[in-house]
Structure formats: structure tokens, C-alpha cells
């Protein structure tokens, strides 16, 4: 009979036989299992590459730990990269490779009770499909940093506090969200680690990032596209999307009706939302009538 930790033994045996290089690729990686995996790698191995993905909601749900970055800080052999579109699970030691369904978590590897049913098959690391996937992952990945790990953990904790993780199907729709950050250009600057701000400013940006649930590690162009898509999901913007115009008065009244905010509060939210649409999308404000419209402002 197959042992509950059969998948783990496959990974551990592969790691123990490594002589030159180890590659660990999985969307979900838990800190404890990652540490056990690294402990299985002989000290003679000089390079350990890990590729994963972090999103606020997944970290909040407990399926992934950004704290694996600590291993890279204490072991110079380890590098961690983020691939936002990652779904493949692949473990490589020199010329041997395991591919299949198992993430590097307790439930996937059978290291905890009630483990998942998972599959890992060994294939040569030079298999054309393995090389194709490795090439795609390399092209789409960016180096993880301690700041990225810190920020996504902050976002995850905020989501947990607001109970916005994996609501059951019968639950009410998630509460509304409108952007809070008044200067939308600061959002990617913090997200990417390019710039830090005061604690008060960062708190607002972190909240916006948490509500957006954007994967960590996107380029600025991809990030902007993700944010624009999420902005389009705000119900009060339906008219702008369908009719290509929306006045500030209509938007402000709709926001006030939904939130119960005062006129001043709703106006502030309207101004912030307009700024985000202009920064992240393809919209401009028609001077005079103060209407949001798609495209560029006419000279």
C-alpha cells in the first residue's frame, strides 16, 4: 500500500541525489515544507532555484508563505523568483525531474493528515515539454525581495481581518471597494519596491493592493492592465464602460447611495476613482462638463 507521504519521499529522494543544481517550482509553497526540502539537499549543491507565486488572497488563505524568503537571506545558494501566472509543479535535480500536480505543502506532500491525492512522475529534465515550460517560467519571472514578502503578508493579514478570503458560495457578495490612495502613481512604486512612503501613505496603498489582490511580480504594464480590469468591475462604472461617458454628478450620487457617505466624502471618492481611471486606464476628464470619457483628451 502506498505510504501517505509517498509524494514527499519522491521529492526528498530526488533532492538527496542532487550533485550540482536544484530547481523547485510550485505555485503554493509552505515555509516548513520548504525548509525540509532544502534540508534534504546535500551541502555540496551550490545552486537552489525556487519559483513560486504570491497573491494576497492565497497567502491569507494559508496555502502559501512569503516567509520562505528568509531561507534565501540565510543561505546564499537559494534564490527565489515570482511567476504570477505559474500553475506548473516541477522539481529538478540535475538531469532528473519530477512533474505533476503536487505543490510544496503539507497536504500535497502527505506530511499532514487527510492529505491530497497527488501525482508526480519522473521525466528527463531535457524533455522538450519540460524545457518549454522552464523557458516560459524564466521569461515571466522576477526576483522576489524581502519587501515584496513583507507587503504581501501585510495585505493578507488585512484581508483576513476583513474576512475577504474565499467566501462560501451562499455568502453575500464581497463588500464594495473604491480606491483610497489619492496619488495612483504611488501604487506601483510601492508594489514593485521602487519607492517607500510614510507609514500613513503606505497603509492606504497596502489596503488598495489587498483589495485588488494583484499577483506579486508583475511588470508595470501588466500591473496597470490588471488594475484597470478590476476597476471595470466596480458597479458604479457600468455606464462609463457601456456608454463611454459618465458625469461626476452621476458617479458621486451613485457612490453616496451605495455607501451612505456624505456629499463631501462621496465627492472625494469620485475624484480618487477618476484619478485611478486616468492613470491605469484609457480615460480622460472632459473639462467643463467634468465627464469621464475613454481615450485621450482633445487639444
Percent composition of the chain: helix, strand, coil (DSSP 3-state, to 5): 45, 15, 40
CB atoms near residue 119 (< 10 Å): 12
Q: Please report, in tens digits, the pLDDT of each residue of the chain (299 residues total).
A: 568 799 999 999 999 999 999 999 999 999 999 999 999 999 999 999 999 999 999 999 999 999 999 999 999 999 999 999 999 999 999 999 999 999 999 999 999 999 999 999 999 999 999 999 999 999 999 999 999 999 999 999 999 988 655 444 444 444 579 999 999 999 999 999 999 999 999 999 999 999 999 999 999 999 999 999 999 999 999 988 888 889 989 999 999 999 999 999 999 999 999 999 999 988 888 766 678 888 765 44
H/E stretch holding 227 reads helix 220-231
Q: Are residues 54 and 215 in contact, defined by beta-carbon separation less than 8 angstroms? A: yes
Cα separation, 94 vs 96, in Å, equals 6
Predicted local distance difference test score (pLDDT) of residue 293: 87
How far apart (Å, rounded) are the C-alpha atoms in residues 226 and 84?
12
pLDDT of residue 67: 98
Contact assessment for residue 81 and residue 51, using Cβ atoms and an 8 Å cutoff: yes
Whole-structure pTM value: 0.89
Domains, in order of start, for the chain: 6-145 (3.30.870.10), 147-294 (no CATH)
Say what the pLDDT of residue 4 is: 78
pLDDT of residue 268: 95
What distance in Å separates the CA atoms of residue 130 and residue 132, rounded to the nearest whole number?
5
**Sheet strands (E) in 39-145:** 47-52, 78-82, 89-93, 96-100, 120-124, 142-143
d(CA 78, CA 144): 11
Q: Quote the Cα angle for 266-270-273, to 5°.
A: 135
Question: What is the C-alpha to C-alpha distance for residues 63 and 30, in angstroms, rounded to an integer?
Answer: 7
pLDDT for the residue 171? 40
In the sheet that holds 291-294, the strands lie side by side as: 246-247, 291-294, 283-286
Amino acid at each position: 500500500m502506498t505510504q501517505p507521504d509517498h509524494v514527499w519521499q519522491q521529492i526528498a529522494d530526488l533532492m538527496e541525489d542532487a550533485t550540482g543544481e536544484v530547481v523547485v517550482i510550485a505555485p503554493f509553497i509552505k515555509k516548513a515544507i520548504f525548509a525540509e526540502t532544502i534540508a534534504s539537499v546535500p551541502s555540496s549543491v551550490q545552486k537552489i532555484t525556487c519559483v513560486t507565486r504570491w497573491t494576497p488572497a492565497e497567502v491569507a488563505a494559508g496555502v502559501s508563505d512569503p516567509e520562505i524568503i528568509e531561507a534565501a537571506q540565510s543561505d546564499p545558494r537559494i534564490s527565489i523568483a515570482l511567476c504570477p501566472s505559474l500553475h506548473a509543479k516541477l522539481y529538478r535535480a540535475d538531469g532528473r525531474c519530477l512533474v505533476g500536480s503536487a505543490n510544496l505543502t503539507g497536504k500535497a506532500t502527505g506530511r499532514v493528515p487527510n492529505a491530497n491525492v497527488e501525482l508526480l512522475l519522473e521525466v528527463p529534465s531535457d524533455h522538450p515539454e519540460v524545457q518549454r515550460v522552464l523557458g516560459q517560467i524564466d521569461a515571466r519571472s522576477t526576483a522576489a525581495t524581502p519587501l515584496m514578502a513583507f507587503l504581501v503578508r501585510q495585505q493578507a493579514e488585512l484581508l483576513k481581518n476583513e474576512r475577504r478570503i474565499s467566501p462560501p458560495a451562499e455568502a453575500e457578495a464581497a463588500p464594495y471597494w473604491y480606491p483610497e490612495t489619492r496619488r495612483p502613481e504611488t501604487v506601483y512604486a510601492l508594489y514593485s519596491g521602487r519607492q517607500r512612503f510614510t507609514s500613513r501613505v503606505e497603509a492606504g496603498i497596502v489596503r488598495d493592493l489587498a483589495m485588488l489582490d494583484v499577483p506579486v511580480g508583475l511588470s508595470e504594464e501588466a500591473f496597470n492592465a490588471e488594475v484597470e480590469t478590476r476597476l471595470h468591475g466596480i458597479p458604479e462604472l457600468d455606464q462609463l464602460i457601456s456608454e463611454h461617458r459618465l458625469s461626476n454628478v452621476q458617479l458621486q450620487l451613485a457612490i453616496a447611495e451605495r455607501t451612505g457617505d456624505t456629499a463631501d466624502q462621496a465627492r472625494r471618492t469620485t475624484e480618487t476613482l477618476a484619478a485611478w481611471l486616468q492613470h491605469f486606464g484609457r480615460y480622460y476628464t472632459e473639462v467643463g462638463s467634468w465627464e469621464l470619457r475613454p481615450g485621450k483628451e482633445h487639444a
